[in-house]
Amino acid sequence: MKIGFYTSTFNDRPLEEVVDFAASAGFDAIEIDVGGHIKTPDRVEDAVSLARNRGLFVSSITFFGNQLDSDRDKRRELRARTAEFAAAIGPGRDDTTSEEANYDDFADFTNGLIAETRASGLTFAIENWPGPRDNFIGTTPKGWQELFRRITDRRFGLEFDPSHLVRIGVDPYRALEAVKDRIAILHAKDTAIDREALQTLGYHSRGWWQYKLPGLGLLDWPRFLSRARGYGFNGTLSIEHEDAAYGWPSKDLVARKEGERLGLDFLKSVLNGL
């Protein structure tokens, strides 16, 4: 497996600086954020070349937004930009319509993208981020079944992030097994849960969980990565650094870089021990 990181942690720094850091720190790959480091479609080729010239594998071009925005003008605009970038996408949700209609609409859009890019062989993936209100579609095992039933082409899969599953109460090991043949990339992020705060605040609040660097939360990484490897995954582990103890978001730059290095060292040690 390759180890990389998602550049959104350094969206306040130029891409040249970010890829130089990634290469010098010993990373194999990089996941480039469109909003922070590419901006417009005409800059994709230069961004990818910049990374490759530093010896980095570009694991994905990542573009976020609510593809099911209830504002139809915003939805059309976002989908047009997604098509231009042909990027990793996230489904989102339209609260004004039914669950089934949400899945049907997103599947129609994605199947269209797949058909339009057949010659390029691009792979599309969604991250299982539940969204700001924890209600995005396609972010649970049941949701994945609904999507894969509608989007059968294997060029569509998951950017599988176990940290989200830990905090919403889904067993990440069982979840991985159920979609083992549809994993495009693994996000390396962990979650810590404060049981006392949870007891006081309850699930429908904030402050009882925190995203952490891999190895600093509840996930059993040797178990998780051993299973992933056993299922045939040999792609990229992309660290999504959202650990407030190491400078996130956009705080101490030295701390953020240290966090990435810690994640790299930890994941290397796990992989070497398998």
Instruction: Please provide the DSSP assignment of the chain as one string.
Output: -EEEEEGGGGTTS-HHHHHHHHHHHT-SEEEEEHHHHT-SGGGHHHHHHHHHHTT-EEEEEE--S-TT-SSHHHHHHHHHHHHHHT-B------TTS-HHHHHHHHHHHHHHHHHHTTTTT--EEEE---TTTT--SS-SHHHHHHHHHH---TTEEEEE-HHHHHHHT--HHHHHHHTGGGEEEEEE-EEEE-HHHHHHH-TTSSSSEEEE-TTSSS--HHHHHHHHHHTT--SEEEE----GGGTTTT--HHHHHHHHHHHHHHHHHHHHH-
Q: Parallel, antiparallel, or unpaired for β 236-239 and 2-6?
A: parallel
Residue 253 pLDDT? 98
pLDDT tens for each residue of 134-174: 999 999 999 999 999 999 999 999 999 999 999 999 999 99
* Amino acid letter for position 221: W
pLDDT digits (tens, 9 = 90+) for 65-105: 767 778 888 877 776 666 656 566 678 899 999 999 999 99
Share of the chain above pLDDT 70, in %: 95
* Side chain identity at residue 93, one-letter code: R
d(CA 172, CA 176): 6
Global pTM exceeds 0.85: yes
Chain segment 215-273, per-residue pLDDT in tens: 999 999 999 999 999 999 999 999 999 999 999 999 999 999 999 999 999 999 999 99
Given a cut of 60, whether residue 184 has pLDDT beyond it is yes
The predicted structure's pLDDT at residue 219: 98
pLDDT value at 48 more than 90: yes
Of 40-44, 47-51, 102-106, the range with the lowest mean pLDDT is: 40-44
